[in-house]
Amino acid sequence: MSGTSPLYEGICKIEIPLIKHCQMLRICLESAFYHNSLRPSFLHSSMFSPRRKIDLRWILPICAFLVSASSIVSAKDWNIITINGREYVTASNVANFYKIERLEKKGQTRTFRHPSLIMEWTIGAQTIYVNRIKFNLSLNIAEYKGQALISTVDLAKLIDPVVRPSFIKKPIDFDTVVIDPGHGGHDTGAKGRQGFEKDYNLDLSLRLKTALEQRGFRTVMTRSTDVFIPLGGRVSMANAQKRAIFISIHHNSTGGRTAAGVETYALAPQGTASTNSPSGSGWTSTLNGNIRDAENIALATAVHAHVIHDLKPTDRGIKRARFNVLRGINKPAILYEGGFLTNPTEAARIHDPAYRQRTADSIANAVVKFKHAVGKR
């Protein structure tokens, strides 16, 4: 399967047969998936639901294939393996549950092949690829007796909402997008050879505002001019909107000149570390933004996959963090990093108004597809 894709416009219709004992399976998973008294809030009954006809308008080179099982699924179908206090399931468990046609083993790599999906894991890695889009996991792929294992938090908080967005429970029915141009005023953000991050963020955000309004959305800007808005003020503006999603626009920087690429952040799930601080301890308390974990990762996937497909930047992956603007948001929220101003090639590209317009159109199209895909059964 090509990573570029007619599936950006595709509709995948799949019949899901009756899954008996799904409540028993859910209870089994809830008791096993989180350790040390962490609430298993990431599990929803929608993850294991009875027969439904699915009309999936998903926006990625990831056509949600869902469960096409004809056999009965019960608690015994999941083999929970605990390693260092964390719960995992095997690659073969995942392949069997989602009825993926082939699971190939080559050295440390496991490749799942289905007509609408190719997924690749490598033992020891913190990343997986789903139809060539890079995802950063909360926990590395582990190994047990020659089997590749994925953590149950990544299964429930990443894989399931990405490949089955229509199963997300009670998603927000939004008509508004809160656009947050990062930095502003005295806070310039990163400095490129031809300009400051704050200015590129604002220009891209204004272009995104126009693109979204052309597609029928209402928009709210946390700032429309070169002013400084405290992070708490941005969160308050977003939370004041009842039917909305939140997209924070940024550009990146580093100490060197070689780092390049686009990365998109969703809030780290409860009990896990941020991608860029893997040795840090995870927060055991649920943040406001964790209420929308499934929608957060689905929105991040939609935006990231569209930009990677449309603009062909380096793919730095979909990542997890606890940025202040993501912690307190009570609606689906992401932070988009549109490339490195410290990389001369990327800085020149970002400085080009035509490139910023293409980025705005790509993100706007992703929002449309996200709206049509999530929770639509």
Query: Three-class SS string for 90-138?
Result: EHHHHHHHHCCCEEEEECCEEEEEECCEEEEEECCCCEEEECCEEEECC
Long-range Cβ contacts of 142-149 (<8 Å, 24+ apart): 142/83, 142/88, 144/81, 144/83, 144/88, 144/90, 147/90, 147/91, 147/92, 148/90, 148/91, 148/108, 148/110, 148/121, 148/123, 149/81, 149/83, 149/88, 149/89, 149/90, 149/91
CA distance 145 to 333: 39
Q: What is the pTM of this model?
A: 0.83
- Quick: pLDDT tens for 279-335: 655 666 678 889 999 999 999 999 999 999 999 999 999 999 999 999 999 999 999
pLDDT at 376: 73
pLDDT on residue 69: 31
pLDDT confidence of residue 74: 45
Which structural domains are found in the chain, ordered by start?
6-165 (3.30.457.10), 176-373 (3.40.630.40)
- Cβ-in-10-Å burial (0-12, 13-18, 19+) of 344 comes to middle
At residue 286, the pLDDT reads 74
β-partners of residue 56 are: 12
Share of the chain above pLDDT 70, in %: 77
Which pair of structure tokens corresponds to residue 58? 């998903």
pLDDT recorded at residue 344: 97
| Other beta carbons within 10 Å of 351 | 17
pLDDT tens digit sequence for 20-69: 333 333 333 333 333 333 333 333 333 433 333 323 334 344 443 433 33
Spans of the chain below 50 pLDDT: 1-75
Q: Which residues, 6+ apart, have CB-to-CB distance to 148 below 8 Å?
A: 90, 91, 108, 110, 121, 123, 141, 142
Element (H, E) at 83: strand 81-83
Q: Which SS3 state, helix, strand or coil, does residue 316 take?
A: strand
For 39, 43, 62, 113, 247, the CA distances from 239, given in Å and listed in that order, are 25, 24, 30, 41, 13
**To which residue do tokens 């089997």 refer?**
147
What count of residues does the chain have?
A: 377
Q: How far is CA 370 from CA 123, 168, 173, 226, in A?
A: 31, 12, 11, 30
The pLDDT value given to residue 377: 65
**230: exposed, middle or buried (Cβ count in 10 Å: 0-12, 13-18, 19+):** exposed
